[in-house]
């Protein structure tokens, strides 16, 4: 099969989907991206791009924009109920500790990738894959709204609750592994926070943070909390129930937490999900393959999933080009190349959960003591103390 004759349906227009579409088009394939949302999703939370992702962005010509849109926290304020706050200037710390690490708003990155590809790639918004029927020559795809079409290959890049994965591989509970916590992100109306500044309120098993966006200083809030059992999806999606659950999880906390909880009812953009990993190895079957969070999510808010999506999309496209569109050989080579890297990335979340969500008052106090000591220590020591971030940097920077 010649690459230029190969049509590839990509389900999902978030991060991994447009990335893969860019590289497939560049290598001579014909990608089509379908997205169930009616338009790109704005806003969201900051995502981390480590060195391998920035290397790929350099090759795409988008790295200068990403660096310009950097939202990396420069000033961190840690609050605890009944305790004196701690404030840190992170400029010198972040430079040494994170090497080529850039943080950017997810919605901005998604918009950039769409803009970079929209003139070369067909996008279909407001539709979703309904069924897949594979035969030796291709895959017949039925959509919820549009006409049926036939493709040579199908890629599920549609997130941790992937429709493609469910249709081709089986139900979510076979692949989605809960890691013991939940995350909520929203924009409380009227909240203003200077860009580059983050205030974190840390309690036992729960963390609330506010940060500013780079363009207009609109404040956004993140709530993280531990819970032994995963909250069912139908409860997280229910407007009243989701807000009640968040209020219960953070009851009794001080600082800005009551203000954030009061803003929940008026927030129209609440994202609320369980923190989980996707383990679907092998993440290909026949002519269907998974990419990004759909295949190997390392954990929302704690696992470096955006960098993994960059590396995975680039690897998949490169292997398809290298094999001349031989999907069986390409998928096998891609899996072999990425398997160890993804396994290491999956190891980040448990460590991050222990650091971000301490399980006792003593551990909360220890976290505060570490931050208070950082400015007083030589660089070698404070870098050692920032062990979680350094571990993520080491793991995610060693891409194949």
Q: In this structure, are 75 and 207 located in the same domain?
A: yes
What would the two tokens of residue 163 be?
A: 């429709």
Q: In this structure, are 229 and 146 located in the same domain?
A: no
Helix (H) / strand (E) element for 152: namely none
Q: In this structure, are 162 and 190 located in the same domain?
A: no
Report the alpha-carbon distance of residue 257 to residue 368 in Å, rounded. Answer: 18
**DSSP states of 47-101 as a string?**
EEE-HHHHHHHHHHT-HHHHHHT----SEEEEE-TTS--EEEE-HHHHHHHHSS-
Q: In this structure, are 241 and 282 located in the same domain?
A: no
Q: In this structure, are 188 and 211 located in the same domain?
A: yes
| Average pLDDT per consecutive 10 residues, the chain (400 residues; last block may be shorter) | 74 98 97 96 82 94 90 76 73 52 89 97 98 97 98 97 96 92 90 81 91 76 94 93 96 90 90 92 94 93 86 97 96 95 88 85 80 53 47 60
Torsion angle of alpha carbons 339, 345, 346, 349, nearest 10°? 180
Q: What domain range is 162 assigned to?
A: 3-40+110-175+278-348
Q: In this structure, are 294 and 270 located in the same domain?
A: no
In this structure, is residue 48 part of a structural domain? no
What is the reported pLDDT for 246? 97
Q: In this structure, are 254 and 390 located in the same domain?
A: yes
In this structure, is residue 227 part of a structural domain? yes
Torsion angle of alpha carbons 85, 86, 91, 97, nearest 10°? -130
Q: Indicate the pairing of strand 75-79 with strand 197-203.
A: parallel
User: Residue 178, SS3?
Assistant: strand
Q: Which pTM was predicted?
A: 0.88
In this structure, is residue 356 part of a structural domain? no
What is the reported pLDDT for 100? 67
In this structure, is residue 158 part of a structural domain? yes
CB 132 within 8 A of CB 288: yes
Q: In this structure, are 311 and 385 located in the same domain?
A: no
In this structure, is residue 223 part of a structural domain? yes
Q: In this structure, are 236 and 198 located in the same domain?
A: yes
**DSSP states of 208-266 as a string?**
EEEEE-TTT-BEEEEEEEE-SSPPPHHHHHSHHHHHHHHHHHTTT--TTHHHHHHTTTT
In this structure, is residue 228 part of a structural domain? yes
**DSSP states of 260-286 as a string?**
HHHTTTT-S--EEEEEEEE--SS-EET
Residue 221 β-bridge partners: 186, 210
Q: In this structure, are 30 and 149 located in the same domain?
A: yes
Distance of alpha carbon 328 from the chain centroid: 28
CATH number of the domain at 97, please. Answer: 3.30.9
- Of 4, 39, 44, 9, give the one whose Cα is nearest residue 25: 4
What is the reported pLDDT for 165? 98
In this structure, is residue 53 part of a structural domain? no
Report the alpha-carbon distance of residue 308 to residue 286 in Å, rounded. Answer: 23
In this structure, is residue 86 part of a structural domain? yes
CATH number of the domain at 14, please. Answer: 3.50.50.60
Beta-carbon count within 10 A of 286 CB = 16
Q: In this structure, are 134 and 262 located in the same domain?
A: no
Report the alpha-carbon distance of residue 6 to residue 267 in Å, rounded. Answer: 44
What is the reported pLDDT for 382? 42
What would the two tokens of residue 339 be?
A: 């398997």
**How many domains does one find in the chain?**
2
Q: In this structure, are 235 and 116 located in the same domain?
A: no
Report the alpha-carbon distance of residue 152 to residue 11 in Å, rounded. Answer: 14
Beta-carbon count within 10 A of 400 CB = 12
Question: For tokens 């840190």, what's the residue?
Answer: 88
Report the alpha-carbon distance of residue 181 to residue 300 in Å, rounded. Answer: 10
């Amino acid at each position: 099969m010649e690459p230029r004759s190969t049509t590839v349906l990509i389900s999902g227009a978030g991060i991994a989907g447009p990335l893969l579409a860019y590289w497939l088009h560049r290598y001579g394939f014909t990608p089509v991206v379908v997205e169930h949302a009616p338009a790109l999703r704005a806003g969201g939370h900051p995502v981390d791009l480590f060195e391998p992702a920035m290397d790929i962005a350099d090759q795409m010509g988008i790295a200068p924009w990403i660096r310009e849109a950097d939202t990396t926290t420069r000033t961190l304020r840690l609050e605890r109920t009944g305790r004196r706050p701690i404030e840190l200037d992170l400029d010198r710390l972040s430079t040494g500790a994170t090497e080529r690490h850039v943080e950017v708003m997810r919605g901005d990155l998604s918009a950039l990738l769409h803009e970079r590809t929209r003139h070369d790639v067909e996008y279909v918004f407001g539709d979703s894959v309904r069924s897949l029927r594979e035969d030796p020559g291709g895959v017949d795809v039925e959509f919820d709204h549009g006409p049926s079409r036939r493709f040579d290959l199908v890629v599920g890049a549609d997130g941790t609750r992937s429709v493609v994965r469910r249709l081709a591989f089986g139900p979510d509970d076979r692949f989605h592994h809960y890691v013991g916590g939940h995350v909520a992100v929203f924009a409380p109306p009227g909240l203003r926070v200077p860009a580059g500044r983050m205030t974190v309120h840390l309690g036992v098993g729960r963390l609330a943070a506010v940060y500013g966006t780079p363009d207009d200083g609109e404040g956004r809030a993140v709530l993280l909390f531990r819970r032994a059992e995963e909250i069912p999806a139908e409860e997280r999606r229910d407007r009243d129930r989701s807000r009640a659950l968040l209020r219960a999880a953070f009851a009794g906390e001080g600082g800005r937490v009551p203000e954030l909880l009061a803003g929940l009812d008026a927030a129209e953009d609440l994202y609320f999900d369980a923190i989980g990993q996707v383990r679907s190895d092998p993440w290909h079957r026949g002519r269907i393959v998974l990419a990004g969070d759909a295949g190997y999510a390392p954990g929302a808010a704690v696992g470096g999933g955006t960098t993994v999506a960059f590396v995975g999309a680039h690897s998949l496209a490169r292997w398809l080009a290298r094999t001349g569109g031989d999907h069986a050989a390409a998928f096998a080579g891609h899996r072999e190349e990425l398997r160890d890297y993804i396994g290491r990335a999956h190891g980040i979340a448990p460590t991050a959960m222990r650091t971000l969500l301490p399980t006792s008052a003593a551990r909360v106090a220890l976290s505060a003591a570490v931050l208070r000591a950082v400015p007083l220590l030589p660089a070698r020591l404070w870098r050692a103390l920032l062990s979680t971030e350094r571990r993520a940097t080491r793991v995610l920077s060693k891409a194949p």
